[in-house]
Structures are given as C-alpha cells and as structure tokens.
C-alpha cells in the first residue's frame, strides 16, 4: 500500500498530476516552486500544492520541491515507477503517430509486443516483435503483459478485449468506438477520435463568435 490512505482525490486532479509529471520531465534537475510549475503548466500554484497534499508532503517550506524527488513521487502515485509492459493490438505501425517508443519508455511504458491480423514476414517493427492475432492470449500470458492499446476494428473490439482480460491484462486504452463490457478489475479508457473532433468543433464555434 503505497502513499496515503488517500481520502478523496477529485477525479479532475488526475490529469493534472500527469501534466505536472510531464512538466517535471522537461525541467532541469534542481528545485522548483509551485509558482514555477504554475508558470509552465498553466494551473494555479495553489491548485498544484493542493493536489499534492492528497498524497503527502513533498516540498520544503521556504524552498520548493526537489525536481527529481517530486518527479519520482509523481511516477509512484501514477503507478509508472515500475515499467508497464504494453501490447499494441490491431495495427502497431499506427502507434508511430503518437511519437517514438523511446518517449513512452521514458514515461514508464515499454511496448513489448504488437499483434496484427497479417503480420509481415520479418515479424518485427522497430525492435518490437509483431505476432499474428491468434497468438494474442499466449504471448500476453508468457510475457506478463499488463496493459494494452486496443486498435482493432469496432466489430472485433469486444472479443479481443475479452481475450486480453482473460490473459491477465489490467488496463486497456480503447481506441475503437466500441463500448467495452469487461470485469470491474480491468481499467478501460476510451480515446475516440470522432468525439475529440466534436469537442474541437464546439470550441472552434465559440471562438469564432467573439
């Protein structure tokens, strides 16, 4: 049981924690005040200090926060201090849209396997082995993969997610539009491009009005 009995952490604080962490990753070692963090993240200094108190005390009054210490504390809180093994299921190449594997690794996510319906002959992509889809359960179990990015077709999503869940995967980033029905213990996060475009469309409309 790490950290605190954490009373009630507002849901809205979690994305902010991730942003604090990202900001710290780009800062030089040394000391940063809540004001410094406020400047780079755009949140208020009070908000930042408040968010941190949900998990403990990480700063020194009169000084600020040690960048490496706070960085480590945040990755502990987020659960990324021990690297997650991640599988990309569907179309591995697609991952390259989001940046390079090194960046994910630095944030605590090691992509250790890809799965495709029809993998190329050579069976590897940028160091990551690519397996045919019917090896999914076996490889996930063998390699102790605990997280997956789901990028299959909408029709195959539920079935594939069930295989992942049964094979021990604890967390799924769902890039498909399907609403997945899985046991409570599996954390699922939808990431729907159409929905993001709609939010963007809405906001663009309001901006134009001014």
Partner DNA sequence: TAGATTGTTAATCGATTAACAATC
Q: Which residues contact DNA by CB under 7 A?
A: 8, 10-13, 33-35, 43-47, 49-50, 52-53, 57-65
Which of a copy of itself, DNA, none sits in contact with 59, Cβ below 5 to 8 A by type? DNA
Task: Locate 2 and state its tokens.
Answer: 């790490």
Q: How far apart are CA 38 and CA 48, in angstroms?
A: 7
- What part of residues 87-126 is at the interface with a copy of itself (CB under 8 A)? 90-91, 93-99, 103-104, 107-109
Using CB under 8 A, pick the residue from 77, 139, 145, 180 that binds a copy of itself: 77
Least separation in angstroms between residue 31's CB and DNA is 8
Q: Which residue is it, tokens 């594939």?
A: 160
CB of 1 to DNA, least distance (A): 19
Helix 34-41 and helix 13-25: axis angle, to 10°? 100
147 binds a copy of itself (CB under 8 A): yes
Single out the residue of 167, 124, 161, 130 nearest to residue 145, CA to CA.
167
Q: Which is nearer to DNA, 17 or 175 (CB)?
A: 17
Q: Which does 33 bind (CB under 5 to 8 A by kind): DNA, a copy of itself, none?
A: DNA
Which of 102, 118, 127, 184 is in the footprint of a copy of itself by CB under 8 A? 184
Q: Report what 124 binds from a copy of itself, DNA, none; CB cut-off 5-8 Å by kind.
A: none
The set of residues, in sequence order, having a beta carbon less than 8 Å from that of 184 and lying 6+ positions away, is: none
Residue closer to DNA by CB (options 49, 110) is 49
Strand order in the sheet with 59-60: 31-32, 64-66, 59-60
Q: Are 147 and 86 in contact (CB under 8 A)?
A: yes
CA distance 61 to 77: 22
44-56 as b/e: b if 16+ CB within 10 A: eeebbbebbebbe
Number of residues that bind a copy of itself (CB under 8 A): 63
Interacting residue ranges for a copy of itself, rule: CB under 8 A: 1, 14-15, 17-19, 21-22, 77-80, 84, 86, 90-91, 93-99, 103-104, 107-109, 147, 149, 151, 153-154, 170-173, 175-177, 184-187, 189, 191-205, 207-209
């Amino acid at each position: 049981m790490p950290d605190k009995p954490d009373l009630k952490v507002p849901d809205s604080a979690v994305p902010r924690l991730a942003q604090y962490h990202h900001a710290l990753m780009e800062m030089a070692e040394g000391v940063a005040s809540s004001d410094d963090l406020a400047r780079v993240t755009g949140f208020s200094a009070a908000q930042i200090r408040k968010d941190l108190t949900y998990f403990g005390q990480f700063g020194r009054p009169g000084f600020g926060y040690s960048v490496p210490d706070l960085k480590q504390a945040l990755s502990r809180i987020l659960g990324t201090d021990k690297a997650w093994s991640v599988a990309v299921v569907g179309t591995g190449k697609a991952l390259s849209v989001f940046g390079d594997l090194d960046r994910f690794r630095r944030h605590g996510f090691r992509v250790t396997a890809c799965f495709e319906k029809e993998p190329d002959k050579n069976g590897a992509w940028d160091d990551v082995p690519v397996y045919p889809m019917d090896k999914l359960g076996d490889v996930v179990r063998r390699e102790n993969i605990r997280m997956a990015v789901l990028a299959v077709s909408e029709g195959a999503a539920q079935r594939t997610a069930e295989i992942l869940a049964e094979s021990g995967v604890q967390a799924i980033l769902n890039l498909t539009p399907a609403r997945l029905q899985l046991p409570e213990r599996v954390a699922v996060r939808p990431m729907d491009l159409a929905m993001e475009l709609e939010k963007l469309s809405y906001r663009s409309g309001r901006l134009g009005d001014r």
